[in-house]
Structure 1
């Protein structure tokens, strides 16, 4: 882990696969959480958008989930106070709640979004989630052009699976963001089709949009490469290579959505290798001019 941290600190960006966290070993700490904590990657952003050519129950979905990435139940502050009795501390601070709320509204303005919805359970957790909701409401006052509302997490989960088109940008505490981003990803095709990013003031780590390690797919050559490739496109855009990102993204979508060369998770029978090769073949004509220009340099 130390080598990976040093590399990211040196380069400022990284792209990574999902890392399995062993739930049956109390002494095994999550490397995902450690990475986010040590690099101060305070926000996780996942955009879930319906794609033509991928059959799902709902169409017309385009929701961005912005998750506070450092606090809540992921604070790693739990201990056994007596045999069979565990105490787990959920940490919510004004500082980090204000920061993620401002990021969500700034994102909405920058990307032409119209509404931000804060997800919470402040009716029960009146202090912790109440503080998060209060911070979101305070920040909303500085963005009168953006519609703001809030929704209790259990209702939001039901609304997400019944009428997801109502959502635009969601801002959520850590645990709720993890759950709802996985629900939203499932609605647009599953774990293999969505990209995500962990963002901080100094670093950005790009990855697939869900936390599934994909361990069950090892050695089968059936994993969907789409989410990781789209994460790479997002990284290229972050680094200022918009043209290259657009070119690769268009080839990915053309192969998977238009040509219907798809892995089994989204209804196809193609292998991972076949999908990747089809994307490479789609890209080749677009890069011919590169080799010509290199010859004349």
Structure 2
């Protein structure tokens, strides 16, 4: 009987996308839920039509209207087109959270087959280094801005705890590199510690990302939910997929308040596209996640169990079978369809409840006080530390600012340290107010910049902020 009547946007994708998404659609249709599909275009063909976004307006409108999409992998052509169509969808629809479950399946042989692995990686999806804000600072030095916001951390942290709550899990690990990046990665840790108090039934845990990678291949069964910033989560989620059999069985979802897009995380595999060889498991499991999102829990459980039974008894596609024993996409999909209503002996269904997507409202910190106490001038120059340091001290005379240090690639090189630092043509020159109680104006900084830029090329300026009496910027290596 039909229990769910709604329209879902269907994006077949590129390469093997139409094959695996076609398989997922067959399985969902067999559940008789009353779902109708609105097929739309995105990816390679759209780029070739001259649309640099890879996502036509009518596709975006469909997703916004239906609020749920099932998507195949999309190709970003090399040499033409704009940013990735995947990135366009995430950014324009503000799907801030990426959810990647990983569960060991019966019958799949990996070094971890005997371990009860069952976890979820929850990754911030729109900011961090993946905001894609890059510049060539000098012809030989590149910069990528790592932007981590309190709002972004609040949303992804709450999503992780809601995932844990919806799946009856007992703990959430916050994964960061806050020991090195104390402001950006530290932001996630600080927000996590605050938000955790609102979920007393779930144990909050904290781990550094390098140790997390280490422990995931030692004791993966000890992890339930991981939450991290964008790049860390991207790397860890692929690692976790590898523990249970690879990207061919790795589902995913990009979640937002305005739309949710469910997709396999593997690529387009153009070498086997159109040959009927692709493994549709990841796409079908992504559809399972979609079914749970629309509260079709029983159907989702039946499909997941049917896949597990196919993995246990066969047949399997070539990527998971012994050499020469693999079957094609259609044959494996038929096996899943035949298994609906069955499950492997000892299979345990995880009880799912509706997932609440967090709407955090206003969450930014409002300081009691703030003042500008200095600036970092980033300058280009093929000079020695002693030369640029002496010249900048001279130029700063008569201004409200005094040179404190110069660093090169994060290490103090002036005042001269005697260390054998290999300098490049990119200098961070830190100036602080001569009056420690002053609140500098832009005019104060501009007066210094006028002098400095008569000699050196200015790359960019960062104001140095004090918030509630505390320094709100990082010290260079070797700076007091």
Same-fold status (TM-score > 0.5): yes
Shift of 1:194: 1.9
Name which of 211, 215, 226 aligns with 2:281.
226
Which deviations, in whole Å up to 9, do the C-alpha atoms of 1:2-47 show, x marking residues without a partner? Answer: 222111001110000122345x659731211111111111101111
Is 1:45 aligned to 2:102, yes or no? Answer: no
Secondary structure of the 1:81 match is strand
Secondary structure of the 1:122 match is coil
For 1:241, the equivalent position in structure 2 comes to 296
Shift of 1:227: 0.9
Is 1:12 aligned to 2:67, yes or no? Answer: yes
Alignment of 1:192-211 (within 5 A): 192-208=248-264, 210-211=265-266
Question: Number of residue pairs matched?
Answer: 282
Secondary structure of the 2:181 match is coil
For 1:289, the equivalent position in structure 2 comes to none
Which deviations, in whole Å up to 9, do the C-alpha atoms of 1:36-81 show, x marking residues without a partner? Answer: 1111111011110111111111121011111111111110211222
Is 1:265 aligned to 2:322, yes or no? Answer: no
Which deviations, in whole Å up to 9, do the C-alpha atoms of 1:250-277 show, x marking residues without a partner? Answer: 32222222x2211122234112222122
For 1:77, the equivalent position in structure 2 comes to 133
> In 2, Cα distance between the equivalents of 1:9 and 1:164?
37
In structure 2, the CA distance between the partners of 1:283 and 1:166, relative to structure 1 (3 Å rule), is closer
> In 1, Cα distance between the equivalents of 2:301 and 2:224?
23
Is 1:65 aligned to 2:110, yes or no? Answer: no
> In 2, Cα distance between the equivalents of 1:75 and 1:250?
38
In structure 2, the CA distance between the partners of 1:240 and 1:149, relative to structure 1 (3 Å rule), is closer
For 1:276, the equivalent position in structure 2 comes to 333
For 1:175, the equivalent position in structure 2 comes to 231
Shift of 1:284: 9.9
> In 2, Cα distance between the equivalents of 1:181 and 1:168?
13
Q: Which runs of 5+ in 2 are unaligned?
A: 1-54, 343-480
In structure 2, the CA distance between the partners of 1:139 and 1:284, relative to structure 1 (3 Å rule), is closer
> In 1, Cα distance between the equivalents of 2:213 and 2:75?
25
Is 1:30 aligned to 2:87, yes or no? Answer: no
Structure (1/2) with the larger helix percentage: 1
Secondary structure of the 1:71 match is coil
> In 1, Cα distance between the equivalents of 2:58 and 2:222?
43
Is 1:212 aligned to 2:267, yes or no? Answer: yes
Between 3-12 and 275-284, report the one with greater CA deviation: 275-284
> In 2, Cα distance between the equivalents of 1:119 and 1:26?
36
> In 1, Cα distance between the equivalents of 2:88 and 2:195?
29
Secondary structure of the 1:196 match is strand
> In 1, Cα distance between the equivalents of 2:140 and 2:217?
36
- What is the TM-score normalised by the length of structure 2? 0.56
Q: Which runs of 5+ in 1 are unaligned?
A: 286-297
> In 2, Cα distance between the equivalents of 1:270 and 1:221?
9
For 2:404, the equivalent position in structure 1 comes to none
In structure 2, the CA distance between the partners of 1:12 and 1:57, relative to structure 1 (3 Å rule), is same
Judge conservation of contact 1:49–1:188 (CA < 8 Å) in 2: yes
> In 1, Cα distance between the equivalents of 2:266 and 2:229?
16
> In 2, Cα distance between the equivalents of 1:28 and 1:42?
21
Secondary structure of the 1:116 match is strand
For 1:133, the equivalent position in structure 2 comes to 189
Secondary structure of the 1:100 match is helix
Structure (1/2) with the larger strand percentage: 2
> In 1, Cα distance between the equivalents of 2:293 and 2:65?
16
In structure 2, the CA distance between the partners of 1:100 and 1:145, relative to structure 1 (3 Å rule), is same
> In 2, Cα distance between the equivalents of 1:161 and 1:179?
14
Shift of 1:200: 0.8
> In 2, Cα distance between the equivalents of 1:129 and 1:25?
34
